[in-house]
């Protein structure tokens, strides 16, 4: 395995910082209305019934033509689900609901300024707007089935409309988180070979109307240097007809969507009949090397999986008002704001702003006003809300029947506040563990069947069979012992490959525990998630954190290599090392250690310059807590930077034995610099 892996696992285990907790039980009222309460249905998802069990999810959708093979393994490990089936995701999220529910709200768009009214978009209106935009994409932008388009937009209804319009045409959308920098956007344009970029002029964030279109201008320039020409930039307007003069446009390249759309009013587009295994979208995520990975998600399998898990784990019924606070630019937003809830004909809330702006009551006022009854958020938001307004939820008249947490481990104390104050002791809670690569939940309790346990995600959700392996590929059977969590079987929501890089897909996720690389049998291809975990005697999994070079900041994955590469762009920098530091609200934040090239002086201004370079290249989310300009990096004799030692210093932990290092004296200097001791 090499000493690197051992070092990383040790680091992950630092995260084990709380004890097993007792159970909490859902109310009889919740169980009385829950979608899944029959253990026999759960049991139908056993490995004995694999893969046929997943047809239960596929049957929640409308197909133009049914599949003839549930799981095709001939191109292992690129699995094909529901082969032979024909389907359209936009049709399933919109058209099929019109007959009975056209007047129902599909999307409640909540602008950040409270002075602006909420936009309640019915399924009929969504149908009209998606069709018109699809017509524009096809006839004006020239996009067709199989093309990729990059979408760099803030949290607005137009983002969901854009995705659904692409899906209608079979155009593969690649949504980039709105807060990402032009550089990050450009990388994704180049990798996905998008010749169309969809943007928005502006959006509100913490009280300021930010100009967003400038990011598109820079991204297009950078992408061109990277070899990808964007010939059209489509710009939605936050205030149609108002802000055009403030948004400089490049003639012949940039177009205001709201103006061009007038030519397509009343147009209807027949949904494309897609193969189940045709890609629906790409979603980029950080990996162990610098380059983000374009996770390619399928149409039929993905949609079936998000519909099924939205129904059984989120307990979404068509009459629910469901609010997931995540950004649509992350996988949670794709699966559990747009595709899952809309496939089930629920009403989904899209909120433009930050949950804590302008005050600690904002989120609860939204819940009260819209009568939200299912609430989905992340530990980082829960911690922030708890910090600034621990008693705030009680002041508002809302009632959640169900709540979710996702994105990182949640501390039991924070979980208990969430349960008691936000959920008012009434809500069933699910802690859902999964990843961009997975499409939908992997571990969680089924809320109508299993009790909750603060700090533990739960067992595998129906049809997901986790296993923990040690470094040597042996199963870890003993409770409480950490190892690498893997999934034994494929599932329909799983990504199909890394866009354009099948080798990296196999190498990253399967090579480590593959039993036979030539095998076409799924049993030989356990999926490596890249997280350390323990299993308890009751079969619940506790996720401890990443085992690879990824930092989870506010529930978002940042590659340490990405941040280090960004620092190395600054001329004075010789070496850079990033380590995660525990943070009250964000979970983890990066600390950046820098060794300068000879002849340069360590100054505050230089540290600031390096920090700015990172924000510029990746986005503010990657901003280091602190840039430490150190005389040298602690290194092994073979020259590897000892991130474990730096991590221990940043987190005020014991650095352990460093005498085998090439330069142990530097550890003393760095320690004094950082901790003052």
**Which residues are at the interface with ligand 6R9 (CB under 6 A)?**
285, 330-332, 406-409, 431-436, 457, 529-531, 543, 546, 552, 555-557
d(CA 431, CA 627): 34
Strands of the sheet containing 321-324, edge to edge, are 119-122, 105-110, 347-351, 321-324, 374-377, 402-406, 428-432
- Under DSSP, the state recorded for 143 is -
Closer CB to ligand 6R9, 92 or 405, in the complex:
405
Ramachandran angles phi, psi of 642, nearest 5°: -90, 85
Closer CB to ligand 6R9, 363 or 380, in the complex:
380
Residue 473, SS3? coil
Closer CB to ligand 6R9, 407 or 619, in the complex:
407
Q: How far is the CB of 381 from ligand 6R9 (least distance, A)?
A: 13
Nearest Cα neighbor of 294 from 378, 172, 212, 407 is: 172
Q: How far is the CB of 605 from ligand 6R9 (least distance, A)?
A: 34
Nearest Cα neighbor of 288 from 591, 563, 620 is: 563
Write out the two tokens for 118.
């909420």
Q: How far is the CB of 50 from ligand 6R9 (least distance, A)?
A: 23
Closer CB to ligand 6R9, 432 or 611, in the complex:
432
Q: Is 253 exposed, middle or buried (0-12, 13-18, 19+ CB in 10 A)?
A: middle
Nearest Cα neighbor of 621 from 676, 553, 569, 561 is: 553
Closer CB to ligand 6R9, 301 or 407, in the complex:
407
Q: How far is the CB of 533 from ligand 6R9 (least distance, A)?
A: 9
Closer CB to ligand 6R9, 279 or 389, in the complex:
279
d(CA 303, CA 267): 26
Q: How far is the CB of 493 from ligand 6R9 (least distance, A)?
A: 11
Which residues, at least 6 apart from 575, have a Cβ–Cβ distance to it below 8 Å? 594, 595, 633, 641
Q: How far is the CB of 559 from ligand 6R9 (least distance, A)?
A: 12
Residue 671, SS3? helix
Report cis status (omega within 30 of 0) of the bond before 51.
yes
d(CA 509, CA 514): 9
Q: How far is the CB of 457 from ligand 6R9 (least distance, A)?
A: 5
Nearest Cα neighbor of 219 from 251, 183, 177, 254 is: 183
Q: How far is the CB of 152 from ligand 6R9 (least distance, A)?
A: 18
Q: Which residue is nearest to ligand 6R9 (CB)?
A: 436
Closer CB to ligand 6R9, 88 or 377, in the complex:
377
Write out the two tokens for 645.
């030692």
Closer CB to ligand 6R9, 230 or 461, in the complex:
461
Q: How far is the CB of 335 from ligand 6R9 (least distance, A)?
A: 8
Closer CB to ligand 6R9, 559 or 634, in the complex:
559
Report cis status (omega within 30 of 0) of the bond before 391.
no
């Amino acid at each position: 395995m090499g000493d690197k892996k051992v070092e990383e696992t040790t680091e992950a285990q630092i995260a084990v910082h709380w004890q097993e907790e007792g159970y909490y039980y859902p109310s009889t009222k919740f169980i009385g209305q829950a979608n899944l309460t029959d253990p026999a249905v759960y049991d139908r998802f056993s490995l004995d019934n694999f893969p046929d069990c997943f047809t239960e999810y596929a049957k929640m959708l409308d197909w133009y033509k049914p599949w003839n093979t549930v799981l095709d393994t001939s191109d292992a490990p690129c699995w094909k689900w529901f082969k032979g089936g024909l389907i359209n995701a936009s049709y399933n999220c919109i058209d099929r609901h019109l007959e009975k529910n056209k007047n129902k709200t599909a999307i409640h768009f909540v602008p950040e300024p409270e002075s602006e009214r909420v936009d309640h978009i019915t399924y009929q209106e969504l149908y009209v707007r998606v069709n018109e935009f699809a017509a524009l994409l096809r006839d004006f932008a020239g996009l067709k089935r199989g093309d990729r388009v990059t979408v760099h937009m803030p949290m607005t209804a137009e983002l969901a409309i854009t995705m659904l319009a692409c899906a209608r045409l079979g155009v593969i959308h690649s949504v980039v988180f709105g807060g990402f920098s032009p550089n990050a956007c450009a990388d994704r344009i180049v990798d996905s070979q998008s010749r169309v970029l969809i943007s928005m002029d502006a959006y509100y964030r913490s009280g300021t109307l930010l100009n967003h279109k400038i990011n598109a201008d820079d991204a297009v320039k950078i992408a061109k240097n990277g070899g990808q020409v964007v010939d059209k930039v489509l710009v939605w307007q936050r205030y149609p007809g108002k802000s055009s003069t403030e948004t400089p446009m490049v003639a012949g390249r940039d177009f205001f969507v709201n103006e061009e759309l007038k030519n397509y009013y009343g147009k209807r587009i027949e949904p494309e009949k897609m193969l189940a295994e045709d890609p629906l979208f790409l979603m980029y995520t950080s990996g162990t090397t610098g380059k983000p990975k374009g996770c390619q998600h399928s149409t039929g399998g993905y949609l079936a999986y998000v519909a099924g898990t939205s129904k059984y784990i989120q307990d979404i019924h068509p009459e629910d008002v469901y609010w997931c606070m995540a950004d649509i630019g992350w996988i949670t937003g794709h699966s559990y704001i747009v595709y899952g809830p809309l496939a089930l004909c629920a009403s989904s809330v899209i909120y433009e702003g930050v949950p804590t702006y302008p005050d600690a009551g904002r989120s609860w006022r939204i819940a009260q006003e819209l009568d939200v009854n299912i609430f989905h958020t992340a530990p980082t938001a829960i911690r922030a809300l708890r910090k600034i307004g621990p008693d705030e939820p009680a002041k508002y008249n809302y009632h959640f029947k169900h709540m979710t947490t996702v994105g990182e481990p949640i501390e039991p104390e924070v979980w208990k506040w969430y349960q008691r104050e936000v959920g008012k002791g009434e809500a069933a809670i699910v802690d859902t563990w999964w990843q961009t690569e997975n499409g939908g939940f992997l571990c969680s309790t089924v809320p109508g069947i299993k009790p909750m346990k603060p700090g533990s995600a739960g067992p595998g959700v129906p049809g997901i069979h986790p296993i923990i392996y040690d470094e040597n590929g042996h199963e870890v059977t003993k409770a409480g012992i950490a190892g690498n969590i893997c999934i034994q079987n494929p599932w329909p929501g799983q990504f199909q490959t890394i866009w354009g890089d099948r080798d990296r897909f196999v190498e990253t996720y399967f090579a480590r525990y593959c039993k036979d690389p030539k095998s076409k049998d799924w049993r030989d291809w356990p999926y490596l998630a890249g997280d350390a975990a323990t299993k308890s005697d009751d079969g619940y999994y506790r996720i401890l954190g990443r085992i690879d070079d990824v930092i989870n900041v506010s529930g978002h994955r940042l590659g340490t290599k990405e941040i280090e590469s960004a620092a190395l762009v600054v001329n004075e920098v010789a070496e850079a090392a990033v380590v995660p530091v525990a943070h009250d609200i964000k979970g983890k934040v990066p600390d950046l250690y820098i060794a300068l090239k000879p002849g340069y002086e360590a100054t505050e201004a230089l540290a600031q310059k390096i920090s700015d370079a990172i924000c510029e290249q990746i986005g503010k989310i990657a901003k280091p807590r602190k840039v430490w300009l150190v005389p040298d990096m602690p290194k092994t004799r073979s020259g590897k930077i000892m991130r474990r030692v730096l991590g221990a210093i940043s987190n005020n932990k014991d650095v352990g034995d460093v005498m085998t290092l090439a330069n142990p004296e530097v550890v003393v200097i760095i320690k004094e610099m950082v901790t003052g001791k």
